[in-house]
Amino acid sequence: MTKENPFETAKQQIDIAAKKLNLDKDIVEWIKTPRRELIVNFPVKMDDGSIKIFTGYRVQHSIARGPCKGGIRYHPDVTLDEVRALATWMTMKCAVLNLPFGGAKGGVICNPKEMSKEELERLTRRYTSEISMIIGPERDIPAPDVYTNSQVMAWIMDTYSMNKGYSTLGVVTGKPLGLGGSKGRNEATARGCVFTIREAAKKMGIDLKKATAAIQGYGNAGSIAAKLLHEMGVKVIAVSDSKGGILNENGIDPVDVLKHKEKTGSVINHPRCKNITNEELLELECDILVPAALENVITSKNAHNIKAKIIAEAANGPTTPEADKILNKKGVFIIPDILANAGGVTVSYFEWVQDLQAHFWTEDEVNAKLENCMVESFNDVYEIHEKENVDMRMAAYMLALTRVADAIKTRGVFP
């Protein structure tokens, strides 16, 4: 089976929305073309004394609305097209939330599960040095993504600072609290997603206390989304990770499942649940489906079998354009990734602002500001969805493209 190219998907999504907006073709091509792409091949000394060459990427998609912003992922399947797509989606996401950023993304082809902490540190510091000429608090601010975390961000910040000769807290977000991190950042992606689910349920007349949910992916976003939904009264019936999923139609306790995963390495084989596949999880009878894993998991092959009423895309690009058409015809309410999972970049923006001011907010302040941003953005997108009679993804892209195109036109072409 040919794997979908995520960058082609991203460009296709832009084309569809641009046509609806009747945007100038030259502006559309400008928006679809990443501004800068850096490929680096660099040596890392491994624990056994050998030298291994790794390949890393940093793609800066747009600076029309401000500095670039986007995560760095460590994964064996990282490709340049994947990084390009993720950078493009970041531009759209920041525009939907009306943040003063353009999109960027980075990645290193590696398997962090097979590397020691010392090897990961050496890889991170070398990769940071290789891309340091194009990142910075005013230029491009990285953040955590798949298989990177606050410790990795601390190494990036320290490496960049050592090369500069002074501490530069604002070069990355998602840092530990003691190094300029923001309270509420760890839960932000999931919390933002849950705010959009709550707003969608209100619009659809779904009582969350009687609703069921299935969550694919049990990393940071998936596990916290499960916990927050559970606390709101939603019955979480299934969750999964890369090894498989579990189902209990009477409901599961997300905290208990997380403890089981931390102990055994996976959610599977939980004593009070039945094992299922990731594919089966997507097709379960439930009210809310949260894809919180990788791209292109909902395709034309399985979209017909999806029974959820709401799909909240906590992952980036989990639904292909073909699947979108099928789901929309079925009346499934999709909260698109560039809205649903924008809580992470929103609180990253808050962290960057706090770093630049050297003044930090309480967790309640952060969560309140996040809720305001997510609810306002959901309503902005929903208004276009209603007014233009388009699905939510189209509405989100129309809003984002309008804002990016306006910025490009207002700034003009230099020189």
Q: Which residues are catalytic?
A: 105
Q: How far apart are CA 8 and CA 26, in angstroms?
A: 18
Residues 355 and 61: their CA atoms lie apart, in Å, by 24
Q: Counting runs of H as helices and runs of E as strands, what totals does the chain give?
A: 14, 12
Q: For 82, what's the count of Cα atoms within 13 Å in the CB-facing half-sphere? A: 24
Q: Which position has the token pair 């049990």?
A: 218
In the Cβ-directed half-sphere of 272, how many Cα atoms lie within 13 Å? 12
Ordered DSSP codes for 173-215: SS--GGGT--TTTTTHHHHHHHHHHHHHHHHHT--GGG-EEEE
Residues near 337 by beta carbon (within 8 Å), at least 6 away in sequence: 89, 93, 313, 314, 315, 316, 317, 318
Is the distance from CB of 335 to CB of 310 less than 8 angstroms?
Answer: yes
Token digits for 367? 């969560």
What are the two backbone dihedrals, phi and then psi, of residue 111, each rounded to the nearest 5 degrees? -115, 95
**Buried b / exposed e across 306-329, counting CB within 10 Å, b at 16+?**
bebbbbbbbbbbbbbbbbbebbbe
Could you say which DSSP state residue 274 is in? E
Q: CA-to-CA distance for 114 and 138, rounded, in angstroms?
A: 35
Rounded Cα distance between 240 and 246, Å, is 6
